[in-house]
């Protein structure tokens, strides 16, 4: 599968709010996720930890809107610009703008990096 | 030097149209550049080749406007969103929107990747 094709499908799923479907369909067993900041979820290793992180995030944020742009592709990697209008539980509503980077190997996402 | 600090200075130079100054100040001797598409300038290795690519580009495009956004940082890497309003010599005026990825080591840019 061409990286550009995978990237387009992945981006379409995110744009439709289908994060879990994108993860189920494309994450490798040994996927690594890296936030820009250290902390409890600063880095996860393996699909189970990445899914747990995703569930924690969904359970602790109210998402008002998601807007994505992309994918932007180079070689084995692609980027998606993501804008989130979100209220963390117990926190203030904020607009976040970040870029998520994905690295692909054997038709699977092996790394996810958050740039901000 | 903190990557975030280097990234901010690099982005400010690009935003001011000072590509050559950014290159002179931050590119490593063995910098590698990677376009998303193959071709004559698909990949360069070393500072001299990267400078030659830059000079070729400047000599073959009329730039009407540049707009940048960023940097977006994660670990040793940063991204800059770039919008170019440009006419290639002998071609049609186009608006390009791309993301440029930079990898840093020892306070120098060691890799530049164009995502589109």
10-residue stretch averages of pLDDT, chain B, 116 residues long: 96 91 95 90 93 91 94 97 96 96 98 96
Verify whether the Cβ–Cβ distance A115 to B73 is below 8 Å.
Answer: yes
Q: What angle do CA A39, A44, A45 make, to 5 degrees?
A: 155
- Residues of chain A with pLDDT > 70, as a percent, come to 100
Nearest chain A Cα distance for residue B14, angstroms: 18
- For chain A, the residues whose C-beta falls within 8 A of a C-beta of chain B are 34-36, 72-75, 77-79, 81, 98-99, 101, 113-116
**ipTM rounded to 2 decimals:** 0.92
pLDDT of A39 over the 90 cut = no
Terminal-to-terminal C-alpha distance of chain A: 29
Verify whether the Cβ–Cβ distance B75 to A113 is below 8 Å.
Answer: yes
- Other C-beta atoms closer than 10 Å to the C-beta of A9 total 15
Q: Parallel, antiparallel, or unpaired: how do β-strands A27-34 and A108-115 relate?
A: parallel
- Can you list the domains of chain A with their CATH numbers? 3-115 (3.10.450.50)
Please give the Cα distance from A97 to A85 (Å, whole number): 9
B36-62 pLDDT per residue, tens? 988 888 999 999 999 999 899 989 999
Chain B residue with minimal CA distance to A37? B74
Nearest chain B Cα distance for residue A113, angstroms: 7
A54-81 pLDDT per residue, tens? 899 989 999 999 999 999 999 999 999 9
pTM of the model as a whole: 0.94
- In the structure encoding, which two tokens stand for residue B67, read together? 């707009």
Please give the Cα distance from B112 to B44 (Å, whole number): 10
């Amino acid at each position: 599968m061409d990286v550009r094709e995978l990237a387009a499908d992945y981006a379409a799923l995110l744009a439709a709010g289908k994060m879990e479907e994108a993860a189920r369909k494309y994450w490798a067993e040994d996927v690594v996720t890296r936030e820009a900041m250290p902390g409890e979820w600063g880095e996860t290793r393996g699909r189970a930890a990445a899914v747990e992180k995703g569930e924690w995030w969904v359970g602790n944020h109210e998402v008002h809107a998601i807007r994505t742009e992309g994918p932007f592709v180079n070689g084995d990697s692609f980027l998606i610009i993501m804008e989130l209008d979100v209220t963390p539980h117990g926190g203030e509503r904020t607009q976040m703008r970040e870029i998520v980077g994905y690295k692909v190997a054997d038709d699977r996402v092996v790394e996810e990096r958050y740039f901000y």
